Structure 1
Amino acid sequence: MRHVVVLCLALSLGLFMSATLCAAETPAPVHGLAMRGAPKYPAGFSHFDYVNPNAPKGGEIRLSETGGWDSFNPFIVKGEAAGGSELPFETLMIESADEPFSEYGLLAESIEMPADRSWVAFTLRSKARWHDGKPITADDVVFSFDILKSKGHPRFRFYYAAVDKVEKVGERKVRFSFKPGDNRELPLILGQLPVLPKHYWKGRDFAATTLQPPLGSGPYKAGPFETGRSVTWVRVKDYWGTDLPVRRGQYNFDRIRYDSYRDTTVALEAFKAGEYDWRMEMEAKKWATGYQDWSGLKDGRGFKEVFPNQRPAGMQGYVYNLRRPLFQDPRVREALALAFDFEWTNKTLFYGQYKRTASFFANSEMASTGLPGPKELEVLEPLRDKVPPQVFTTTYKPPETEGDGNIRANLRAAMRLLEEAGWTVENGKLVKDGRPFVFEILLNQPIWERIALPFARNLERLGIEANVRVVDTAQYKNRVDQYDYDMVVQVWGQSQSPGNEQVSFWGSTAAAEVGGQNLAGIQNPAVDALVAAIIAAPDRETLVAYCRALDRVLLWNHYVIPQWHMASDRVAWWDKFGRPAIIPAAGVRPLAWWSKDAEKK
């Protein structure tokens, strides 16, 4: 009898201790998450600092895009999504624009996450509604995760690859459990999950393009549209989330219209004629000379301004397709880079507006400088025999010229590299094993011809035939999705807190994914190891060091010919808008502006 009593006491004590331990380990619900440290905005905050919480609602903003469109589904590879097609859809959390990487609850009322970040749970807001009035449920979240991973764009498979299990743990609560490994970013990545209505997609093919606007829950839904030409998004009058802190002061227009134009030249002329209202200028020449005859600028009805930002510029460059045997020798890739004269291009074509990009993390603290420091060497030393030796000995600098068009010294250096790689000149043509060096530079905008053609002429002096070809938007997308190109221009944008997206940019597993972002076709175990280290970085100092290490390895493998960047946004607009006083680090936010017509009401 005594043994039974002791056993019962032991079991009771064990159960009590287990319950106490579980209670101690149960994380408290929070309103937001930061990648590292605590979020800037406390629980109960009223609005983001970079918005006007009292901005009036009403009026219209007209925007532009180039090329056509044929779908309202922005989550798949097929088709070209309409401008603004993400507006009807919402995510569990929303990122702020004035922090390195913090998110706050949107559809999610609260978030739970243990200290080791091995899982995350989201509790949905009880008032969250689809546009048809039905509540948003945990079933919708589980469905969204499954359908995006199985039938969505390949990037979703990379983002969610480390998720072991997703389960409904309540009518409004979902828990995501992660596979073993240190991936501190995963809870925030799941916060970015677009939530889609399970009941709407039942019986519909999610992977197909559609001209029937899908059901959403966001501040706008599709209004009048003309396929391939224009679409108007109409503000939902009874939008459920209007007064949320993460929404206050934003999405102020009753209508957002996107008009499609053939190319950027036509689009600029349409803007100056008053066909649309707000334009972010991406071309230096147009900014310098294209607005001189704009009547709005002359008579005060329009504005043109440069807004500095602290947004990482990432990398823009000519990308070699390493799937082509022609570009698999790094000496060849280094040689071709010597034929690109940035200094002449910037002075002659860009009016000196750009800086040369020398990093895959340009305009950020993640950009490598000097030689590797102690923290970088921790991750680089085990890879010493797998990376170019210059990573440890030499500061990377893109080739330079005087900017006067004379690049003989660079071309001589290029020819030495090509000869080392087995290429010789015969009858003015560069050949190897009897085959000439011929490739195509594929472009999707005529404006790029004036930049690519001088580069091609320099290559011609080496005996290389570089054919510059411009194709329409649809053909370009199809060829890029299928990796059917020799060289293209690509921009890899970066955030203040790089993480899992680096797998889709540079990872070996991404090289064969249709529609992926590893356009260079990189399959390098050293790069894979560095990306894994970045994802597992436990603190900001380590993250920065590991990004710098990856930067060096990517640069010294000569996967791209770096082009240029600028740390500002060039914006022109007609005098129809009010705007917030603060521009956040991420740059101009047009949907935080408001209509002056609405001010008069």
Structure 2
Amino acid sequence: MSSHNLRWISLIASPLVILTLLLGCSRSTPTIISSPHVTTTTRPTLTLPSYTSTPDSTTTQTPTPEHRTLTICLGAEPVSLFIHNSNSLVAKNILEAIYDGPIDSTDFSYEPVILEKLPSLADGDATLQRVSVKENGFVVNDAGEMVLLRPGQVVRPYGCNLSECAITWQGEALEMAQMSVTFTLKQNIRWSDGKPLIADDSVFGFEIASGCRFQEHPDSACGFLGAGGHQTLINTASYAALDVRTTQWLGLPGFLDQTYMTNFAHPLPRHQMQTYTPEEFLSVEERSPLGWGPYIIEKWQPGEYILLSRNPHYFRASEGLPHFDQLKIRFFISDENETLSALQNGECDLIDSEKSSKSITLEHLIEFGNSGKISALTSIGNLWEHLDFNIQPAESIINSGAFAGWDMDGDGQGPFGDVRLRQAVAMCLDRQAVADSLFFGKSPVPDTYLPPTHPLINPLAIQWSYDPVSAASLLEEIGWLDNDNDPSTPRISIGVTGISDGTPLIMNYETSETELRQQVFLMLAQGLAACGIQVNLHTYPSMEFFSTDPLSRVYGRLYDMAEFAFLTGVNPPCNLFLSNNIPSAENNWSGQNSSGFIDPAYDAACMQQIQLLPGEAAYTQAVLDAQRIFAEQLPVIPLFLRLKTAAARPDMCGYSVDPSSTSDFWNIESFNYGESCK
């Protein structure tokens, strides 16, 4: 985005006007404004450490005898490198060379990079403060919404973290909990121009994140704060520098942020504003942002490459990092043969996961990797495929002939309302065989919505392994009988609740038109047929399949069984299956619990997980309980985890793909090749 799309203005308004702006009044021009409800105070006078622009002996790497260049090939060119306008993977990968951190997400955990540590409740650098709140002050209510406190609002008083103890406020004296979190920068972090990176640079970054607006989305802040992103940003009461290395984040009263440990605002160089206008500053940020990471942008040749050089002020230079004097990032449009050739002849030293997935089939990636021609990199990703049961079908298909719609007893649930049928289907599926066939043995089958490597996985959650004999017993118990002793023909209902006798066990398997999902169907259909379950494949264009309206196959709950994928992450996504997340007219058909699953025990465990904070005693137990109930009740069947892949020259080291990182190059300073890797 060009710099004319952003500009600074000041905004002075009453809290009511500000709230109206936040809730959707359109702006005719893009702006950068002050954060409306954040307390603004004069920045404290900070005594800066003494630095010069010349690298000192503690951070200067011994010169290497040869000039080394690493060539990275990406499949696209970024539009912008402005940190708050760079959502593409190619932009995030390049930015890792310019900024290191400030916090990484790896292996489904957060790790500090330029901070001394991540704050925690246990260590006391994250606390819940008792604060008095007044009428018309900004708070976060029990529903998680930022509101002006007025009589009738449902809020949680201090000491109450769950909805069960929330009160309806009627004007009485009220104290609420306010999160306070402090972050401390490591010593000797410097911008690549040699100036010290200080806490006030993080405050400046917060000010930019809070205020910027883009022409395309004038009603939304373009910035983010921590892993909570925009939501955390608007629920922030203040963000300030306490001294040269320490910042403090305060949330609005009532806002208990589960990712509080990441709420360190991405620093931006305030000192650059001494020489640039706001428009010039943002233009620089889009093309050659000043960072503190291992490399500095030297040249951007549009359509061809970006050239970067070693940052002499990099805080890890004394460790011999980065390993290269120069980094060349090429925008390389190529087919599979050209990509594989480039990795072997030296045109490209490595490619990222996006280009790998688009340019090289997994089969050929593995083949060339096993032969030693390239280095083939694989990891599970954060995308998990699942098969959903339509437990509570839309009224329009009730008793219409659709399998999921049979509801002769009128309880609102179709045949999949019987958990035994869901469990039987799971045992008819050899999911590991499917995953091995698709991903060459590199993708495990998850038992819940978390991957097996997640630090919060419940190892005791029940596993539904491939077991057609036990599946047959469950089907018989329900009343789905093999009356002709031929397992290849559909079973027939005899005494099944809500279904007429003689109904065959035939259902539709619905999904999008992707080739992968059609392959999955063909393999799963064989196992189901062997159990006496006939499935018929129906595919739809993605726009039709996933549309958020009552005619959507998924969100309109018109299917029998449906296959698609969800994201997982550091925070376990139990909310996907809450009863208040069922798609309906009330939520504009955007609820993600498209199976219509309702289980009070699951709701209780998941809501406790959502409303408590990591580090509180009951949080981890709630996470484990929600997974246990999910695995037992099985509203959907987890099928497999998608793979992330990348490729490099055969003697590459230090480069790996991570399941939860938002960038492939989170550790780009450690990339190396050749003799140095031995």
Instruction: Pick the TM interval, shorter chain.
Output: 0.5 to 0.7
1:236 & 1:211 partners in 2: Cα distance? 17
Q: CA deviation digits over 1:510-564, x for unaligned, max 9?
A: 99999x996869997536513235525425xx55433211212444454543123
Counterpart in the other structure of 2:458: 368
Matched position secondary structure for 1:62:
strand
Q: Does 1:177 align with 2:250?
A: yes
Q: Which residue of 2 aligns with 1:21?
A: none
1:229-248 equivalences in 2 (<5 Å): 232-238=305-311, 240-243=313-316
One-letter code aligned to 2:230: R
Match of 1:39 in 2: none
For the pair 1:150 / 2:221, whether they are aligned, the reply is yes
What letter corresponds to residue 467 of structure 1 in structure 2? T
Instruction: Describe the shift of the 1:553–1:329 C-alpha distance in structure 2 as closer, same or farther (beyond 3 A).
Output: farther
Alpha-carbon distance change, 261 to 359 in structure 1, aligned in 2, over 3 angstroms: farther
Q: Deviations over 1:328-376 (max 9, x none)?
A: 9686493875775414424544444443211333234532244xxxxxx
Task: Find out whether 1:129 has 2:205 as its counterpart.
Answer: no
- Distance verdict in 2 for CA 1:484–1:172, change over 3 Å: farther
Aligned-residue CA RMSD in angstroms? 6.4
CA change 1:543–1:270 in 2 (3 A) is: farther
Distance 1:274 1:451, change over 3 A: farther
Q: Identify the match of residue 317 of structure 1 among 385, 406, 427.
A: 385
In structure 2, the residue matched to 1:451 is: 520
Q: Secondary structure at the match of 1:490?
A: strand
Equivalent residue for 1:26?
A: none
Q: Kindly tell me: are residues 598 and 96 of structure 1, through their superposed partners in 2, closer, same or farther at Cα, counting changes over 3 Å? A: farther
Residues 96, 666 of structure 2: 8 Å contact kept: no
Structure 2 match to 1:255: 327
What's 1:591 paired with? 668
Question: What letter corresponds to residue 562 of structure 1 in structure 2?
Answer: P
**SS state at 1:317 partner:** strand
The aligned counterpart of 2:462 is: 396
Aligned sequence identity (%): 9
Partner of 2:444: 355
Q: Say whether residues 1:164 and 2:237 are aligned partners.
A: yes
CA shift at 1:60, angstroms? 0.9
Letter in 1 for 2:621: A
After TM superposition, the score normalised by the length of structure 2 is: 0.51
Give a deviation string over 1:94-128, Cα, whole Å, max 9, x none.
Answer: 34969965525359999996463641344667864
Where does residue 33 of structure 1 map in the other structure?
none
Which residue, 213, 236, 243 being the options, matches 2:287?
213
Q: How big is the shift at 1:221? A: 5.7
Pairs aligned (count): 486
The equivalent of 2:180 in structure 1 is 119
* Segment drifting more, 410-419 vs 85-94: 410-419
CA positional deviation for 1:304 = 5.3
Residue 12 of structure 2 is matched in structure 1 by none
8 Å contact from structure 1 (residues 252, 591) kept in 2: no
Secondary structure in 2 aligned to 1:355? coil
Answer yes or no: is the 8 Å Cα contact 1:314–1:492 preserved in 2: yes
Cross-structure match for 1:526: 604
The alpha carbon displacement at 1:84 in A equals 1.6
User: Equivalent residue for 1:41?
Assistant: none
Q: Give 1:441's aligned residue.
A: 512
CA 1:92–1:522 in 2, change beyond 3 Å: closer, same or farther? farther
Deviations 1:438-481 (A, max 9, x none): 743264xx555433554478889645443065x7xxx89x979x
Instruction: Please tell me the residue identity of whatever aligns with 1:59.
Output: T
1:389 corresponding residue in structure 2: none
Code of the aligned partner of 1:84: N
Deviations 1:51-82 (A, max 9, x none): xx9896841142455x8865546756987764
* Counterpart mapping for 1:407-418 below 5 A: none
Residues 485 and 184 of structure 1, relative CA distance in 2, 3 Å threshold? same
Report the AA paired with residue 70 of structure 2. E
Question: C-alpha displacement at 1:316, in angstroms?
Answer: 1.5
Greater relative contact order (Cα < 8 A, sep 6+): 1
Report what 1:561 is aligned to. Answer: 637
TM-score (structure 1 length as normaliser): 0.57
**Deviation, structure 1 residue 254:** 2.1
> How far apart are the structure 2 equivalents of 1:560 and 1:201?
54
Give structure 1 stretches of 5+ with no counterpart.
Answer: 1-45, 48-52, 371-394, 431-436
Contact 1:344/1:402 (<8 A) preserved: no
Amino acid aligned to 2:640: W
Q: How does 1:257-296 map to 2 (within 5 A)?
A: 257=329, 259=331, 271=343, 276-278=348-350, 290-292=365-367, 294=368
Structure 2 spans left out of the alignment, 5+ residues = 1-57, 129-178, 213-219, 398-403, 405-411, 481-489, 555-561
Decide whether the 8 Å contact of 1:330 with 1:557 is kept in 2: no
Deviation at 1:272, TM superposition (A): 5.8
